[in-house]
A and B are shown apart, each in its own frame.
Chain A
Amino acid sequence: NAGVTQTPKFRILKIGQSMTLQCTQDMNHNYMYWYRQDPGMGLKLIYYSVGAGITDKGEVPNGYNVSRSTTEDFPLRLELAAPSQTSVYFCASSTEFTLHFGNGTRLTVT
């Protein structure tokens, strides 16, 4: 059972470039989330989704977009990368309380 799979594992972007972080889960969970993790800051919620076609902003949504066309997939889009978006990004899914995390994408914007 793969759980939550994130790609790529690492990426370096130049300022102003765009990219999509991919996330897919095979547990048939309705709820999915994107968090970013910065040293000493814990995890901050970027966006979340309660089901296909439904997304909502979390605590730090600026500079990001998401879509949820299927139950399995929840990609995160960065349109104009900025140095402040250098971070480790985690995707997660859940039924009710327990979040299952992917292994993260380490993104550097220079």
Chain B
Amino acid sequence: DIQMTQSPSSLSASVGDRVTITCQASQDISNYLNWYQQKPGKAPKLLIYDASNLETGVPSRFSGSGSGTDFTFTISSLQPEDIATYYCQQYDNLPSFTFGPGTKVDIK
């Protein structure tokens, strides 16, 4: 099974800060890596698919990069409405889907 790690597990940043979250896969997953935002009490929402593609309607301050085993998710300028937990998710063709443990983002 492919394991996913995320870091940090939580972070606190100021409005306007650049925020970066990393996700690492235990083996090469090409670009089969997606990012979701989950606000408290809400269902997850897709933000980035295939590592770097911005979902329609998602603000451009969100971005993703990486391939193979190492991936990065960035919020270029943190806004109050970005308070949420962010999850990476990988896919392989067994099929199997694994979510990372999540990164909780807070405002300082």
Q: Check if A and B associate.
A: no
